[in-house]
A and B are shown apart, each in its own frame.
Chain A
Amino acid sequence: MDLIRIRNVKKQYKNGVIAIYDLSLNIAKGDFVFIIGPTGCGKSTLGKMLYREERPTSGEIIVGGLNVAKLKNRKVYKLRRKIGVVFQDFKLLQKQTVYENVAFALEVLGLPKAEIHSKVLKVLDLVGLKNKAKNYPTQLSGGEQQRVAIARAIVNGPKLLICDEPTGNLDEGTSKEIMKVLEEINKLGTTIIMVTHDTELVERAKRRVILLDSGRILKDYAKGTYRHESV
């Protein structure tokens, strides 16, 4: 059963640059997939198209039964409620506490207060930040902030978690911590797509790896077959 089906997707930016050429790809439910490649290979564009930050010029992207390519601007929230997104720069609201940042994702759904409270505490427990609920993001380390961002992304139980360079700003030790949290979430049944350029981390994870180059899939490594070639 595929959660994501991408058919003949092409993306050309307004300035004429072509980021993706005729790309097709299936991703199964519950999988953990890395998308890697050199700078400018189109991996970030591919990630952005999955959560409808960008629209493909042509082709079809189906995420959990929703045709993302044809999704109207007004309806984007329908997709965003089904998926979670994590970024390199965390994108937390600096003026709100950890608890408020996470609760925010549930408040827009209109859940009752008690339900929000129990869900937020549960997910903060999962990422190991229960005792920092009342802190503000500026009082946390980079790794902790990223865990808050992950908590916010998964608090409404999405089927898919898209991570765009989640470890890009973090040192090796912290990156490992983040990976541990992501593995945990994947074990609970959430499909994870992670865009990264940290090939060592990718090799250690022993998962399916899609290598992009110049907007095309160069190689699709099955689970555990990827070896990072040190240059």
Chain B
Amino acid sequence: MKAFRILGRNIRDSFKSVFRNFSLSLASISCITITLIVMSLAIILSYNVNNFVELVERDVTIVAFLDNDVTDEEVDVIRDSIDSLGYIDTVTYSSKEEVTTEIKNSSETFSNIMASWDETDNPLQPTFQVKVTDIDQIGNIADEIKNMENVDIVKYGEGMIEQLVKVFDTVRKVTIGIVIALVIVTAFLIANTIKITIFSRKREIEIMRLVGASNTNIKIPFILEGLFLGALGSIIPIVVSVYGYNALYNNFDGQVISPFIKLIAPQPFITLVSLVLLVIGILVGMFGSWRAVRKYLKI
């Protein structure tokens, strides 16, 4: 009962304090707001880059052209051997006829030319399209498929794919690094801002100690205040992120540059980002207050 009364008063006092020290609170809130906006940009960017990478990687296909005279039994043997390799996602077989129809359907010109072919003229080969789960393994898998019997040529965009993987890997690492660095920098920036605002309330802390407030008793209102500041500071970044991202998504119709590079759908992505921003704001506000007030409790 007593503890609840004290906690209730702490919540009331920290609320009051936000408004009584309004100009100082505003300094902390704006600091949190600005850094959270930058952080939100970094998070959105890094997740989207990750998303691009995944989409591109998922789309990379090994095409194995089989010998023209391959029998159905031999096709099954090849399918089984490919399936038994590691890191295989999907294996699709297109017979000579299927390939021919597909190409015929893709363009009228091709269709006209191919109409004149007979069974022996048709140079198209039956193929296996193999998608892999780990793009780093694509070279090895391609080599193994090439060594199988009845496999003529294997193509997967050699050279270009390796380079693409390297670039994406770097981009991914850099964006993750930026987000982590931003979280740390924000925490300390806000801790210092709150430290300055609390410095002006050294006297208040001194008086609290004087009238017999225990250290915990003194810390709680300041930490709660940090919580409120963090929550208030995350409002604008959340609004900006939600509206901004939705507008961006609608503007580009979910696509940037090419159909391969797609933005992440706003839901539930942006809700999660908002939650992350709120939690980071609150934690960082509380951490900042706690660090700052601790300094004045050592006598």
Known A93-B204, A110-B5, A112-B5: A77·B20 in contact at CB below 8 Å: no
In the complex, A108→B7 CA distance in Å? Answer: 10
B297 within 8 A of A: yes
Chain B residues, Cβ within 8 Å of A200? none
> A73 touching B207 by the CB < 8 A rule?
no
> B203 at the A/B interface (Cβ < 8 Å)?
yes
Closest to B6 in A: A110
Chain B, residue nearest A105 (CB) = B211
* Chain B, Cβ-Cβ closest to A81: B212
Which of B203, B204, B209 contacts A77, CB < 8 Å?
Answer: B209
Q: Which of A77, A93, A110 contacts B2 (CB 8 A)?
A: A110
The answer to whether A156 touches B210, judged by C-beta atoms less than 8 angstroms apart, is no
Q: A91: CB under 8 A from chain B?
A: yes
Least CB distance from B3 to A in Å reads 7
CA distance A77 to B213 in the complex (A): 6
Assuming the contacts A110-B5, A112-B5, asked whether A77 and B207 have C-beta atoms less than 8 A apart, the reply is no
17 A-B pairs whose Cβ atoms sit less than 8 Å apart in the complex: A77-B215, A77-B217, A80-B210, A80-B212, A85-B210, A92-B207, A93-B203, A95-B20, A104-B207, A105-B211, A107-B9, A109-B212, A110-B2, A110-B5, A111-B5, A112-B5, A156-B212
Q: How far is the CA of A78 from the CA of B214 in the complex (A)?
A: 8
Known: A73-B299, A74-B215, A93-B203. 16 other contacts (CB 8 A): A76-B209, A77-B209, A77-B212, A78-B212, A81-B212, A85-B210, A91-B210, A95-B20, A104-B208, A104-B211, A107-B6, A107-B9, A108-B217, A110-B2, A110-B5, A111-B5
- Min CB distance, A156 to chain B, in Å? 7
**Cβ of B208: which chain A residues have Cβ within 8 Å of it?**
104, 108
Chain B residues in the interface with A (C-beta under 8 A):
2-3, 5-6, 9, 20, 203-204, 206-215, 217, 297-299
Q: Assess the A152–B299 pair: CB atoms within 8 A.
A: no
Number of interface residues of A (CB under 8 A): 23
Give bound CA distance, A81 to B217, whole Å: 13
Alpha-carbon distance between A48 and B5 when the two chains are bound, in angstroms: 31
A156 to B213, CA, bound (A): 13
Complex A-B, nearest 9 residue pairs according to Cβ-Cβ distance, in ascending order: A81-B212, A110-B2, A80-B212, A105-B211, A108-B213, A77-B214, A110-B6, A77-B212, A110-B5
Does A53 count as interface, using CB distance less than 8 angstroms?
A: yes
Q: Chain A's nearest CB lies how many Å from the CB of B16?
A: 9
Residues of B within 8 A of A95 (CB): 20
For residue B212, which residues in chain A have a CB less than 8 angstroms away from its CB?
A: 77-78, 80-81, 105, 108-109, 156
- If the complex has contacts A73-B299, A108-B217, are A80 and B211 also in contact, measured as CB distance less than 8 A? yes
CA gap between A78 and B211 in the complex, in Å: 10
Across-interface contacts of A156 in B (CB, < 8 A): 212
* In the complex, chain B residues whose CB is within 8 Å of the CB of A85: 210
In the assembled complex, which residues on chain B have CB atoms less than 8 Å from the CB atom of A92?
A: 207
Whether A93 and B210, one on each chain, are in contact in the complex, defined by CB atoms closer than 8 angstroms, is no
List A contacts of B210 (CB < 8 A). Answer: 80, 85, 91
The answer on a CB contact under 8 Å between B211 and A73 is no
CB distance from B1 to the nearest CB of A (A): 8
Cβ proximity bits A75-118 to B, threshold 8 Å, 1 near / 0 not: 01110110001000001110100000000110111111000000
Instruction: Return the chain B residue nearest A108 by Cβ.
Output: B213
Q: In the bound complex, what is the Cα–Cα distance between A108 and B209 (angstroms)?
A: 10
CA distance A81 to B209 in the complex (A): 10
Bound complex: CA of A74 vs CA of B294, how far in Å? Answer: 12
Query: Which residues of A have CB within 8 Å of B2?
Result: 110
- What is the bound-complex CA distance between A110 and B213, given in angstroms? 10
Q: Which residue of B lies closest to A155 (CB)?
A: B211
In the bound complex, residues from chain A placing their C-beta under 8 Å from that of B6 are 107-108, 110
**Taking A91-B206, A95-B20 as contacts, is the C-beta distance between A108 and B298 under 8 angstroms?**
no
Docked CA distance A74–B299 (Å): 10
